[in-house]
Amino acid sequence: MAKIYGCALLLLVGTVSSARNFTQQPDNTPLPKGYYIVVAAFFGYQEDYAQRYSSKLNAGGLHVKYGLDPSRRLYFVYLDQYSDFDESVHQMLKVRKEGTFDRAWVRTIRDNNESGEQVEAKKEEPQIKKVNPPAIVLKKEEPKVIEEKKVEAIKVAEEKKVEEQKSVTTEVIENPTADPVYLPQTLNNTPVFLSLYNSTNNQVIDGEVEVVDTERSRLITKVKANAYLTLPNPGTKSGQLTLISKTFGFRPEQHEIHYVNTEADTVQPYVELIGNFYMVNFGLTRIHKGDISTLYNVYFYNDAAIMLPDSKYQLNSLLQMFKENHTLKVVLHGHTNGSGRGKIIYMGPSKNFFQITKDVVEGSGSAKELSEARAEVIREWLLAQGIDDKRVTVKGWGGSRMIHDKNSVHARKNIRVDVEVIEE
């Protein structure tokens, strides 16, 4: 498994003897085959940051260039490119010795966009080493720059001037403890970061991941994504785990990972070993025509077609689906736990979607009527946000399509609204 190295994001003045006078790499142009002396790396959706950092270094008297490695979805900022491996290593060592980029590394780009290796100066490696892992930055609109660090892994580089002008809230996930890294690195001694993102626009998305014992086909647990965690030991001979993403509005994605022989899994494009943690990437795609996704986190008051305030977050996820695809049309299917009749509380003229107000309308009806009224109140909320009424229809099923026994511990999951895509 290749080790990831990098350099600090600083404005450094001086020249590198081996660097050529480069012009800026064209946008999104894959790097051709060769060996590159790399000084920084950025995620594939941060091309503007790579360009900005390159310009910053060049303004300081250096001559750098950047390009895309599509196999890893990373932009690399580099000093030079060579066709000979030994020569690239020799020049990289010279660059380190000069001190400007004392953590530069060699990145190998092969034919057919295959990912290469990062090469460092040869030295004896201990069996236990300390690393400082990165802080993972999540942002709903535009993420911060993240670059690679030598054995310290990836750290977040601050873009103060840019971020001060933005009102977007950034969530910084704290680093895991810089414990010693034991070789070999397994899931028993190495944490995992489960990264969920929209494969279309690379925006970070919230969601859960089911952890399944592959050998026994048994669900072990569910964990929140975009956080450092320790995966459970399945206790089987194979030690194999199946990870399945569960995110509203997106199709599930499934990955396999071995609890003991984890380093071997890094040959898979979705697993990376970064210092003292593994990153498992889930590039998710939106649901398509015929798919159904459930609004399990949209809640209602008892006997009411009025939503609890906690529902706002997932409603915004539904709204985002409509904003991303202006031809999207859906049916909202309402369901209840059981098929009896009873009291129904309807939203009043004040149109307060999230509170039982004094002007609510009380009536009675069947479970089917209640389920349809609940789907309808979600539709009305969407219309209030500017969505065309022709894009949303509703249907009530009452308790005819329960997924759990109405007396079971999971009975509350029967109370739900499903979103079916009928046109996209």
Domains in the chain, please, with CATH?
A: 1-173 (no CATH), 183-285 (2.60.40.1120), 292-423 (3.30.1330.60)
Burial of 218: CB neighbours in 10 Å, binned 0-12, 13-18, 19+: exposed
Over its length of 424 residues, how does the chain's per-residue pLDDT go in tens digits? 333 333 333 323 233 333 333 344 444 668 888 888 888 888 777 888 888 888 888 888 888 888 888 777 788 888 988 888 888 888 888 888 887 787 778 888 876 444 444 544 444 443 444 444 444 544 444 444 444 443 344 344 444 444 444 443 445 555 555 555 667 888 988 899 999 999 888 888 989 999 999 999 999 999 999 988 999 999 999 999 999 999 999 999 999 999 999 999 988 999 988 878 899 999 999 999 999 999 999 999 999 999 999 999 999 999 999 999 999 999 999 999 988 899 999 999 999 999 999 999 999 999 999 999 999 999 999 999 999 999 999 999 999 999 999 888 888 899 999 999 999 9
What is the Cα–Cα distance from 376 to 183, expressed in whole angstroms? Answer: 57
Burial of 223: CB neighbours in 10 Å, binned 0-12, 13-18, 19+: middle
pLDDT at 421: 97
Burial of 346: CB neighbours in 10 Å, binned 0-12, 13-18, 19+: middle
Residue 128's identity, in one-letter code, is I
Q: What is residue 341's three-state secondary structure?
A: strand
Of 285, 281, 273, 137, the residue nearest 195 (C-alpha) = 281
What DSSP line would sit under 92-111, residue for residue?
Answer: HHHHHHHSTTTT-EEEEE-G
What is the Cα–Cα distance from 378 to 241, expressed in whole angstroms? Answer: 37
Of 213, 215, 219, the residue nearest 233 (C-alpha) = 213
Positive or negative torsion for Cα 123, 114, 65, 197: negative
pLDDT at 76: 86
pLDDT at 276: 81
What is the Cα–Cα distance from 227 to 231, expressed in whole angstroms? Answer: 12
pLDDT at 172: 53
pLDDT at 181: 60
pLDDT at 202: 85
Positive or negative torsion for Cα 259, 213, 210, 407: negative
Positive or negative torsion for Cα 223, 226, 232, 233: positive
What is the Cα–Cα distance from 14 to 7, expressed in whole angstroms? Answer: 16
Other beta carbons within 10 angstroms of residue 46's beta carbon come to 21
Running DSSP on this structure, what letter comes out for residue 5? -
pLDDT at 122: 43
Reported for 95-101, long-range contacts at CB under 8 A and 24+ positions apart, including other chains, are: 95/16, 95/18, 95/37, 96/121, 98/14, 98/16, 98/17, 100/12, 100/14, 100/16, 100/62, 101/7, 101/12, 101/16, 101/39
What DSSP line would sit under 284-334, residue for residue?
Answer: E-B--TT-EEE-TT--B-TTBS-B-GGGHHHHHHHHHHHHH-TT-EEEEEE
**CA geometry: angle at 231 spanning 228 and 237, to 5°?**
155
pLDDT at 84: 85
Residue 242's identity, in one-letter code, is T
By the 8 A CB rule, do 327 and 423 touch?
Answer: yes
Of 329, 275, 234, 302, the residue nearest 133 (C-alpha) = 275
pLDDT at 131: 43
Is the preceding omega at residue 184 within 30 degrees of 0, hence cis? Answer: yes
What is the Cα–Cα distance from 280 to 266, expressed in whole angstroms? Answer: 9
